[in-house]
A and B are shown apart, each in its own frame.
Chain A
């Protein structure tokens, strides 16, 4: 028995020395195809760092966050994991992330050429506990075939919200004349502020939230004007499907071919292309306060308890380098954070040929998506209250009052 144990021990030791490498794990949300691209990036990384091997694990959005919580709580976190900027403070404030500042200070060149707005979300008083990986600006997507069929001119960069509204009404069609609409002018995700109502409120001169002060700001007159616009196009004109109508076809109206326009980030491009849509993008229309869109970024963080923080940092550094970013640009799910790559053929010359440069230009008039502790709870509370107006005919004044009250409650609970 004793002999057996010592043999086993020797074997384990031998295996340890034979491999002679550090193993790190990287977990992210995304599709299996995204996982493949990351495996490819990991291979290239390994070619440059033969002593480090990377295990890639991909999960869908909801599964990802649950898995992550369990792994971190259980003391077996992945070394590196993906982070969505608005949720970053939830994790950063709970002391589970590694402070990357010492690494960045030792090698400041890593931040060279990175779009500054993408770094904003990850900065804290003690330094950066995360690095952006890519960014998403919201643009107007449109289905060219539907515009052609209805004889409506494509959206231009001159468009105001009123132009958008007029076109949407023209594109809302009851094809078979049975009294129910078969094609809507536009569709929008209306719970979270990111794709639609954030840009609408901002371009009407309103603000969304001041998390530090604990106040939800969508009760202002300007914000009200923005919501009133949404109410008109949605409930009066009925140029957008209600949530119940939309759910009959799946959540994305453009993807399922029942809406001519929609708002989204670059993440929709591969999906729309795969569905065979003939589409392009235009800037978000202008409001009374000019043109404003939103920008958000996904990034990387390293576990505070990672046994191999140096190796983990090397991997993050590689992923945000030109080589890593060019590879990522190829999947076409997001815009690279490096100016050089965003203006290179790797990003602009993607297989799907739409106006990719627009997503980069949009940075000029983009507001950052709010980033604070308790974002998900706040977003849920506000979205739920607002939906009373969208689905149950509650007057906007009432649902907005409730949204502010619920939102402030959620902020207070997370302070």
Chain B
């Protein structure tokens, strides 16, 4: 290990080579984070100079209907999307972690949505969900059922969760497959010798060994859930540039870029960031606790 560490003058060069990235990170990423934080305490319409607003942008949030609706939509979405994505991608990974014929075909099939354009895929789903001539409703009516209004306000939440989970399984599967293949084979051999049944091997070896992947996947999926935008917008947009299921990211965009209210938009972005941060911290706490037991 020691031989791989930079020594003497090499350390200098490490710093030199890292400088461009570090500057980008400092100015670009951290710069915009601090700028957002700053703007959230100001009233700014992009065109006239900002004025100090104290915490009024934050105080106004509970009375902002679009924001509150977006907040509830996002929470409801995350509540369904996170567990479903984690559980389903885990099962898909378990199913595809073996040598069966055509396994690579299935892996590609599940991964395909991850690398497809969300706009194109979103449009495809609007055809599937379409009311009168949609594929789904045609199947339902062919079997004698009543057509469902998949994209109406009351059903849209579930419809978009389905699309988003479908789109995220591939990414989760890759993480779990990597985790599964890192489990030493001897564990299973020893367990088999001791007479462990297959469900016992799953429960006592596979799942505990997958705990780190599971935490990583949970954090990732939660972040994605709170930032969800593309599929949802394409499926639920309306003629006036609104959405029947506005999410937080949509509300931020609309306030900042359509309604000339960068201060409110920044405050909403800060709230979104804080929620993601708190959830991530909770995951880390849990991982420490759980990781210690395993």
Residues from chain B with a CB closer than 8 A to the CB of A376 are 258-259
Cβ-defined contact, B240 with A94, below 8 A: no
Query: Which residue from A65, A91, A191, A192 sits with its C-beta under 8 Å from B47?
Result: A91
Query: Which residue from B47, B65, B133 sits with its C-beta under 8 Å from A94?
Result: B47
Cβ-defined contact, B240 with A379, below 8 A: yes
Cβ-defined contact, B240 with A391, below 8 A: no
Query: Which residue from A66, A189, A243 sits with its C-beta under 8 Å from B257?
Result: A66
Residues from chain A with a CB closer than 8 A to the CB of B149 are 244
Asked if B285 CB lies within 8 Å of chain A CBs, one says no
Residues from chain B with a CB closer than 8 A to the CB of A72 are 46-47
Cβ-defined contact, B65 with A180, below 8 A: no
In the complex, per-residue mask of A185-217: 1 if CB is within 8 Å of any chain B CB, else 0: 000011110000000000000000000000000
Which residue of chain B has its CB nearest to the CB of A190?
A: B239
Residues facing A in B60-90 (CB within 8 A) are: 65
- Nearest CB on B from A41, distance (A): 28
Residues from chain A with a CB closer than 8 A to the CB of B65 are 381, 406, 409
Asked if B166 CB lies within 8 Å of chain A CBs, one says no
Which residue of chain A has its CB nearest to the CB of B235?
A: A247
Asked if A33 CB lies within 8 Å of chain B CBs, one says no
Asked if B269 CB lies within 8 Å of chain A CBs, one says no
CA distance A84 to B106 in the complex (A): 52
CA distance A38 to B258 in the complex (A): 27
Cβ-defined contact, B239 with A189, below 8 A: yes
Asked if B2 CB lies within 8 Å of chain A CBs, one says no
Residues facing A in B227-273 (CB within 8 A) are: 238-242, 244, 254, 257-260
Asked, given contacts A380-B241, A406-B65, whether A248 binds B259 with beta carbons under 8 Å apart, the answer is no
Which residue of chain B has its CB nearest to the CB of A77?
A: B47
CA distance A180 to B147 in the complex (A): 11
Chain A: interface residue total (CB-CB under 8 A): 37
CA distance A65 to B130 in the complex (A): 31
Cβ-defined contact, B152 with A244, below 8 A: yes
CA distance A190 to B127 in the complex (A): 22
In the complex, per-residue mask of A90-119: 1 if CB is within 8 Å of any chain B CB, else 0: 110011100000000000000000000000
CA distance A72 to B134 in the complex (A): 44
From DSSP, what is the main secondary structure of chain A's interface residues? helix
Query: Which residue from B130, B152, B254 sits with its C-beta under 8 Å from A392?
Result: B152
Asked if A251 CB lies within 8 Å of chain B CBs, one says yes
CA distance A189 to B134 in the complex (A): 22
CA distance A409 to B154 in the complex (A): 25
CA distance A259 to B149 in the complex (A): 21
Asked if A232 CB lies within 8 Å of chain B CBs, one says no
Which residue of chain B has its CB nearest to the CB of A406?
A: B65
Residues from chain A with a CB closer than 8 A to the CB of B241 are 62, 380
- Name 7 extra pairs, CB < 8 A, besides A95-B48, A380-B240: A66-B257, A191-B242, A247-B126, A251-B239, A374-B259, A383-B240, A391-B152
A interface residues (Cβ-Cβ under 8 A, vs B): 62, 65-66, 69, 72-73, 90-91, 94-96, 180-181, 189-192, 242-245, 247-248, 251, 374, 376-377, 379-381, 383-384, 387, 391-392, 406, 409
B interface residues (Cβ-Cβ under 8 A, vs A): 45-48, 65, 126-127, 130-134, 149, 151-154, 238-242, 244, 254, 257-260
Query: Can you list 13 pairs linking A and B with CB atoms under 8 Å apart?
Result: A69-B257, A72-B46, A72-B47, A73-B46, A95-B47, A180-B133, A189-B239, A190-B239, A242-B131, A243-B238, A245-B132, A248-B130, A377-B258
Sorted from nearest, which 5 A-B pairs have the closest CB atoms? A191-B240, A94-B47, A73-B46, A248-B130, A180-B132
